[in-house]
Amino acid sequence: MVSVWMITYNHEPYISQAIESILEQKTNFEFELVIGEDHSTDKTAEIIKQFELKHPQIIKARYNSQNIGMIPNMIKTLEECNGKYIALCEGDDFWTDPFKLQKQVDFLETHLDYTGVAHQATVKHEHSNAEQSLFRNHDIADIELRNVIGDRLFHTASFMFRSDIVKTHALPSNITAGDRALFILVASIGKIKYTAEPMCCYRKNNSGISTWVTSELMEKDLNIVPWIKKINQHFPKHEYYQFIHYTILRFPKHLTKLKAIKHSFWYLFHSFREFPKNIKKIILFLIYEFPLIWKKTKVTNV
């Protein structure tokens, strides 16, 4: 009934808890755990093999002979999933409710007009004294396409969707944010039901996107538009372009001044589709935000 998709790389401190949280699921149907291990340099693969030996009827692990990268590993692991539904959980996150799968399957089985389900998550701040918090606070019960274009309303480890969607429409490989592309794809086909019940935990640590992402990597997500437009001709590309260009500008330490100008221009260009409703937002960007971005950018490429 369900394939639990898990990709992992150098998750030695976390992978056991991630796997155990899936094995603890209580369901009236069969499920499998499909793991894509991307040639870790630590003991992640060894730990997975130990679990695989104990639970061969549930765990289906694939060990890459070389590191192929997050998006190729994501796509390759999705292709190995045989369930009617696919639930996501990366190797450094974990589930906290043993009935999570049952609740989500029960909903999708009885609400055929929904293509996916998601829920609230707790955030565990690794290497920090900060207390656990919630991922997002909002009251959007039916998440539609326009809701998944910007900042995320739910965490990846909370998401389940109908697997025939990715069997019919393969994800592009020339992108950086595979989960965003997946959310956009599923929401292009139908609604996503969201519940405020926290049933998973997102580990926030020093390996987060802000520590390694570059403008070049972020620019790759512009490739989502030509791909999704072939699937959904009504995709609001200007709204998406506006979001991506602005997101790139939010990480100015990776930008040259030339790129800061380029992305600011395209952000404003796509913003003018909403003019004059957003005139205040445009003025604030030009007067306050852009000067701050300019100060933090480099003069030339290094």
Residue closest to 154 by CA, chosen among 111, 113, 189, 187 = 187
What H or E segment, with its residue span, contains residue 67? none
Q: What is the pLDDT of residues 131-151, one digit of tens each?
A: 788 999 999 999 999 999 999
Distance (Å, whole) CA 48 – CA 51? 5
* pTM, two decimal places: 0.93
pLDDT score, position 77: 98
Q: Note whether 87 and 165 are within 8 A (CB).
A: no
Residue showing tokens 């401190």: 13
Residues of the chain with pLDDT under 50: 301-302
* Strand-pair partners of 123: 133, 202
Residue type, 105: V
241-245: Cβ within 8 A, 24+ apart: 241/266, 241/270, 242/267, 242/270, 242/271, 242/273, 243/149, 243/150, 244/218, 244/219, 245/270
pLDDT score, position 232: 96
Q: Note whether 185 and 169 are within 8 A (CB).
A: yes
pLDDT score, position 207: 60
pLDDT score, position 302: 40
Residue 212's alpha-carbon distances to 69, 95, 218, in angstroms, are 14, 26, 11
Residue 80's alpha-carbon distances to 34, 62, 77, 214, in angstroms, are 7, 9, 5, 30
Distance (Å, whole) CA 120 – CA 152? 11
Report residue 238 as tokens.
Answer: 């200007």
pLDDT score, position 158: 98
Q: Note whether 1 and 33 are within 8 A (CB).
A: no
State the Cα angle at 226 between 225 and 230, rounded to 5°.
110
Q: Note whether 177 and 225 are within 8 A (CB).
A: no
* Helix%, strand%, coil% for the chain, nearest 5: 45, 20, 35
Count of Cβ atoms closer than 10 Å to residue 54 Cβ: 10
Distance (Å, whole) CA 79 – CA 72? 11
